[in-house]
Amino acid sequence: MDTLSDLADGVVNGDESKVSALTAQAIDTEGSAKRILDDGLIRGMTIVGERFKAHEIFLPDVLMAAKAMYVGLGLLRPLLIEENVDSLAKVVVGSVQGDLHDIGKNLVGIMLKGAGFEVIDLGNDVSPSRFVEAAKEHDASVIGLSALLTTTMPVMKSVVDEVRSQGLGDRVKTIVGGAPVSEDFARKIGADAYGFDAANAVDKVKTLVGKN
C-alpha cells in the first residue's frame, strides 16, 4: 500500500478521518515531513486544483479537500518546523479597502496553501499601507489583491503605487483578481499579474516567484 498516494486521495475526497489516520501513519513510517507534505498533502491539493480549473469539481469540493488537508497539516506542522522546511514563498492576501467580500480571496488563500505557500491573510477592507507593511513585516514575495466592487478597484492601484514608492517593486510582486478585474486593468495599474480564478492565481504566483 502506498501511504502517500492514499493520503493524497484522502485529501482529494475531503476525507478528514482518512487524512488524519494516514498522516499519523506516514509520520511513523516515512521519516521525512517534507516528503509527506509534498507527495501526500500538496499532491492531493494539486489534483484538486487541476480538477477545479477543469470545472470537474466545484467550490464545496475544494473547501472539503482544504479542511482535510488542514487536518493533516496540523499533525505535520511540528515536524516541518523541526526539519526547518521552507514554504515556496510568503504571500500576503486581502480584499482591498472598502470591499467586504472575501469568498474569492479565501479560495485563493486555500489553493496557495495547498500548493505549498505560506499565506498571510489580512481579511477584508485592507488599506494600501497595511498591505505594504505586512509584506515588509513578513518578508513576503507577493501581495494578492481582491476586489468584487468596481468602486474599490482604484485601491488596487494605490497598493501597487505604494509598493513602488517604497522601493519594493523588485522584491514584492503584485497580483490582482476579482469579478470586475481584467488583464487590461491589471496592466494599466502596473500590477505584475492578473488571476482570473483561484487556480489561475496560483499558477501566476508560482511564475512570479520562479517556481513554475
The DSSP code sequence of the chain is --HHHHHHHHHHTT-HHHHHHHHHHHHHHT--HHHHIIIIIIHHHHHHHHHHHTTSS-HHHHHHHHHHHHHHHHHHHHHHHHHTPPPS-EEEEEEBTT----HHHHHHHHHHHHTT-EEEE--SSB-HHHHHHHHHHHT-SEEEEE-SSGGGHHHHHHHHHHHHHTT-TTT-EEEEESTT--HHHHHHHT-SEE-SSHHHHHHHHHHHTT--
Strand pairing partners for 12?
A: none
| CA distances for 119 relative to 75, 92, 93, 164, 198, angstroms | 18, 6, 7, 22, 14
The percent of residues above 90 in pLDDT, for the chain, comes to 88
Residues 61, 112 share a domain: no
Distant-in-sequence, close-in-space partners of 77: CB < 8 Å, separation ≥ 6: none
pLDDT confidence of residue 1: 54
Last residue of a domain, one of 83, 99, 128: 83
Last residue of a domain, one of 83, 113, 139: 83
| Cα atoms in the Cβ-side hemisphere of radius 13 Å centred on 198 | 28
When divided into structural domains, the chain yields a total of: 2
Residues 103, 56 share a domain: no
Identify the band that residue 176 occupies on the pLDDT scale cut at 50, 70 and 90: very high
The C-alpha cell of 142 is what? 507577493
Residues 94, 198 share a domain: yes
pLDDT confidence of residue 160: 98
Residues 108, 65 share a domain: no
CATH number, domain with residue 49: 1.10.1240.10
At residue 101, φ and ψ (nearest 5 deg) are -80, 135
What's the CA angle centered on 34, arms 29 and 35, to 5 degrees?
Answer: 55
Identify the band that residue 126 occupies on the pLDDT scale cut at 50, 70 and 90: very high
pLDDT at 212 over 80: no
The C-alpha cell of 39 is what? 507527495
The model carries a pTM of: 0.86
pLDDT at 50 over 80: yes
Residues 198, 174 share a domain: yes
Residues 105, 69 share a domain: no
CATH number, domain with residue 104: 3.40.50.280
Identify the band that residue 59 occupies on the pLDDT scale cut at 50, 70 and 90: confident
What's the CA angle centered on 48, arms 94 and 43, to 5 degrees?
Answer: 100
Report the Cα 50 to chain-centroid distance in Å: 14
pLDDT confidence of residue 31: 77
Residues 144, 63 share a domain: no
| Separation of alpha carbons 139 and 169, rounded Å | 13
What average pLDDT does range 3-24 have in this prediction? 97
pLDDT confidence of residue 53: 87
What average pLDDT does range 169-181 have in this prediction? 96
Last residue of a domain, one of 46, 66, 83: 83
Residues 158, 131 share a domain: yes
Whole domain around residue 151: which residue ranges?
90-208
Residues 57, 141 share a domain: no
pLDDT single digits (tens) 71-106: 999 999 899 888 888 889 999 999 999 999 988 899
Report the Cα 4 to chain-centroid distance in Å: 22
